[in-house]
């Protein structure tokens, strides 16, 4: 009697084969409508299932109006953009000191790099 109980418990405690476990997982996935991914490959399904965020985010914040946009809408106001004026003054001061951008080449092959290669 004791040997029959131990044999029954041994049979009940044995681990199912890998093939059987794989078949069980596949059946689970078909029942619960989930993807069967036995190799655990990264699929990005988590992000593909989610709602698209872009359109709602764009609509959430109003469009920011720049000074230039206001001047275009209301040209009769003659508003002065002090930041732009200061930027232009700074550029002129840099050019006067020789710190401005280098002159552009008129044609291809007349630039500084092309002149260096010919030497």
Domain that holds residue 75: 63-98
Record the pTM: 0.40
Q: Is residue 119 part of a domain?
A: no
Q: Is residue 47 part of a domain?
A: no
Per-residue pLDDT 10s for the chain (119 aa) are 666 666 666 666 889 999 999 999 999 999 999 889 999 899 888 888 888 888 888 888 888 888 889 889 998 888 888 999 999 999 999 999 999 888 887 887 777 777 776 65
- Angstrom distances, CA of residue 118 to CA of 106, 107, 109, 113: 18, 16, 10, 9
Model pLDDT, residue 50: 85
Number of domains in the chain: 2
- Angstrom distances, CA of residue 16 to CA of 6, 22, 29, 37, 39: 18, 10, 19, 20, 19
């Amino acid at each position: 009697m004791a040997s029959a109980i131990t044999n029954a418990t041994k049979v009940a405690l044995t681990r199912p084969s890998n093939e059987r476990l794989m078949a069980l997982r596949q059946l689970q996935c078909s029942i619960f409508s989930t993807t069967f991914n036995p190799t655990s490959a990264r699929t990005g399904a988590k992000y593909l299932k989610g709602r698209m965020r872009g359109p709602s985010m764009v609509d959430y914040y109003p469009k920011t109006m720049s000074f230039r946009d206001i001047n275009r809408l209301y040209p009769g106001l003659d508003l002065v953009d002090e930041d732009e004026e200061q930027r232009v003054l700074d550029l002129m001061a840099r050019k006067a000191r020789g710190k401005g951008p280098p002159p552009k080449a008129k044609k291809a092959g007349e630039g500084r790099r092309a002149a260096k290669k010919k030497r």
